[in-house]
Amino acid sequence: VTRPRTDNYADELEMVVTALVAGDRASAADLIAPLAQPPRTVPVRAEASESVVALVYRRDGFRCRYCGCRVIPTQIMRLIAELFPDDFPYHRNWKAGQTHPAIASRSPSLDHIIPWARGGTNDPENLACACWICNQIKGDLTIDQLGWALRDVPTADQRDWDGLTRFYRPLWELAGRPTNADHRLWLRLLDPAPGSTKPTG
Ligand SMILES: [Zn+2]
């Protein structure tokens, strides 16, 4: 994954360091002043509720709002891992060597468009479905800093992918209705046709 950057930190810091090493601390201070970002306290991150997470994934059509790739909720991939533990391993901490690469490649994550650390909120307008990889790259940077564009929320007729949610319940049944991973909650939140949900037993 390439990461375009719009900042000029490499050149700017080269000038700062050049001045410092030349013994000109005053010039270095003048050069670093425009870049100054003093340490500050970021409020403790409040987690968005699972229902907001599901709403955002559905709203965004189970595609990353940055790279456009199709994502599959991790809960569903975990059921594939239950059924094929040797071919498709899963470790709850995504331990290297014990987690299939599809998990990192295709898991959705909840992105704060304006990062939490920069004052972004959990309002759905500030939230986006992002693939885990884009979210890792984005970190606490803004899309302007990255030179990225935010894709529009798809309209109803642009939605061409359901994240395999239509198979979630039958897969869960096939896997023997595992009780881990909050499946009962996510089955309800991700059910593609809530009206047709059978009573859970
Ligand atoms: Zn992405």
> pLDDT at position 200, please?
46
Q: How far is the CA of 42 from the centre of ligand 1 (A)?
A: 26
pTM of the complete model? 0.83
How many angstroms is it from 63 CA to the middle of ligand 1?
8
DSSP 3-state of 192? coil
Q: Is 110 helix (H, G, I), strand (E, B) or coil?
A: strand
How remote is the CA of residue 36 from the centroid of ligand 1, in Å? 30
Average pLDDT for 40-68: 93
Statement: residue 40 has pLDDT above 80:
yes
Total Cβ atoms within 10 A of residue 119: 11
* Portion of the chain with pLDDT greater than 70, in percent: 94
197 confidence band (pLDDT: 50, 70, 90): very low
